[in-house]
Structure 1
Amino acid sequence: MSASNGIKILSFSGNTRILHLSWIAFFITFVIWFNHAPLLAAMRETMGLTDQQIKTLLILNVALTIPARIIIGMLVDSFGPKRIYSFLLMVSALLCFGFAAAQNFEQLAIMRFLLGFSGAGFVIGIRMISEWYPARQAGIAQGIYGGWGNFGSAGAAISLPTIALLFGGDDGWRYAVASTGVLAFVYSFIYYFSTHDTPKGSTYFKPKKSGALEISSKKDFVLYLIMNIPMYAALAVLTWKLSPSNINMLEAGVTNTIYIILASLYLFQAFRMYQVNAHVFKTEVPEIERYEFSQVAVLNLAYMVTFGSELAIISMLPLFFMDTFNLSPAGAGLVASIFAGLNLIMRPAGGWISDKFGRKRSLVVIMFGLILGYAMMSQIDASWSLPMAIVVTIFCSLFVNAGNGAVFAVVPLIKRRLTGQIAGMTGAYGNVGGVTFLTVLSFVSSEIFFLVIGGAAIFVFLATVLILKEPSNKMTEVLPDGTVQVIET
Structure 2
Amino acid sequence: MLSDLWSLQGRYRTLHLTWFAFFLTFVVWFNLAPLATTIKADFGLSVPQIRTLAICNVALTVPARILIGMLLDKFGPRITYSTLLVFAAIPCLMFSAAQDFSQLVVARLLLSIVGAGFVIGIRMVAEWFPPKEIGLAEGVYGGWGNFGSAFSALTMVIVAGWLSFSGGFELPTGEILNWRGAIALTGVISAVYGFIYYANITDTPPGKAYQKPAKSAGLEVTSLRDFWGLLGMNVPFAVILAVLVWRLQKVKFLDATGYTIGMVLVLIWFAFQTWGIVRTNRDLILGNKTYSKEDRYEFKQVAILELTYIVNFGSELAVVSMLPAFFESTFDLPKATAGILASCYAFVNLVARPGGGLISDRMGSRKNTMGFLTVGLGFGYLVMSMIKPGAFTGTAGIAIAVLLTMACSFFVQAGEGATFAMVPLVKKRVTGQIAGMVGAYGNVGAVAYLTIFSLLPVWMGGDSAEPSAEIVAASNSAFFQILGIAGLVVGLLCYFFLREPKGSFADEHADEVSLARV
Q: 1:40 to 1:317 in 2, by over 3 A?
A: closer
Equivalenced residue count is 477
Q: 2:353 & 2:313 partners in 1: Cα distance?
A: 10
For 1:216, give the aligned amino acid. T
Give the Å deviation of 1:290: 1.3
1:420 maps to 2:432: yes
Correspondence for 1:352 among 353, 358, 383 = 358
CA distance in 1, matches of 2:326, 2:256: 33
1:468 aligns with 2:498: yes
Counterpart of 2:281 in structure 1 is 277
Partner residue in 2 for 1:247: 251
Per the TM alignment, residue 326 of structure 1 is displaced from its structure 2 partner at its CA by 5.7
Matched, 1:170 2:176: no
Distance 1:399 1:289, change over 3 A: same
Conserved 8 A contact 1:304-1:430: yes
**Which of 396, 400, 413 is matched with 2:412 structurally?**
400
Q: How much does 1:301 deviate? A: 0.2
Q: CA deviation at 1:256?
A: 2.6
1:420-470 CA distance string (max 9 Å, x none): 111111111111111222333333644443333233223312221122211
Please give the per-residue CA displacement for 1:315-346, whole angstroms capped at 9, x wherever unaligned.
Answer: 34455555555666555544443222212211
Which runs of 5 or more structure 1 residues have no equivalent in the other structure? 478-483
Specify every segment of 5 or more residues in structure 2 that has no aligned partner in the other structure, as ranges: 169-177, 461-474
- Superposition deviation, residue 39 in structure 1: 4.1
1:189 to 1:204, Cα distance in 2 relative to 1, 3 A? same
Q: Which residue of 2 aligns with 1:227?
A: 233
Per-residue CA deviations over 1:166-188 (Å, capped at 9, x if unaligned) read 44233644433332232222211
Q: What does 1:323-472 align with in structure 2 at a 5 Å threshold? A: 332-357=338-363, 358-381=365-388, 382-383=390-391, 386=397, 388-441=400-453, 442-443=455-456, 445-472=475-502
Identity %: 47
**Mapped partners of 1:380, 1:106: distance in 2:** 35
Q: Matches of 1:458 and 1:44 in 2, distance apart?
A: 35
**Which has the larger displacement, 261-270 or 377-386?**
377-386
Report the more deviating stretch, 112-121 or 66-75: 112-121
Indicate how the Cα distance of structure 1 residues 52 and 467 shifts in structure 2: closer, same or farther if over 3 A, else same: closer
Task: Tell me the amino acid that sits aligned with residue 142 of structure 1.
Answer: E
2:251 alignment partner AA: I
Query: How far did residue 375 of structure 1 move?
Result: 3.2
- TM-score, normalization: structure 2? 0.85
Q: What is the alpha-carbon distance in structure 2 between the residues aligned to residue 438 and residue 414 of structure 1?
A: 30
For 1:430 and 1:229, how far apart are their aligned partners in 2? 15
Match runs of 1:51-200 below 5 Å: 53-167=49-163, 168-170=165-167, 172-200=178-206
- Tell me the equivalent position of 2:466: none
Displacement of 1:51: 5.5
Residues 142, 353 of structure 2: 8 Å contact kept: yes
2:152 and 2:420 mapped to 1: Cα distance?
Answer: 24
In the TM superposition, what whole-angstrom CA distance separates every residue of 1:79-134 from its partner, at most 9, and x where no partner exists?
Answer: 00011111111222233333334454433332221121111111100000000011
Residues 463, 7 of structure 1: alpha-carbon distance in 2 compared, 3 angstrom cutoff: farther
Letter in structure 1 aligned against 2:381: Y
Question: Do the aligned partners of 2:309 and 2:419 also contact (CA within 8 Å) in 1?
Answer: yes
Q: Which deviates more, 445-454 or 122-131?
A: 445-454
Whole-Å separation in 1 of the counterparts to 2:34 and 2:406: 24
432-441 or 157-166: which moved more? 157-166
- 2:167 partner letter: D
Match of 2:10 in 1: 14
Displacement after TM superposition at 1:388 (Å): 4.6
What is the CA–CA distance in structure 2 between the aligned matches of 1:452 and 1:48, rounded to whole Å?
A: 30
Which residue type is aligned with residue 175 of structure 1? G
Say if 1:143 and 1:347, in contact at 8 Å, map to a contact too: yes
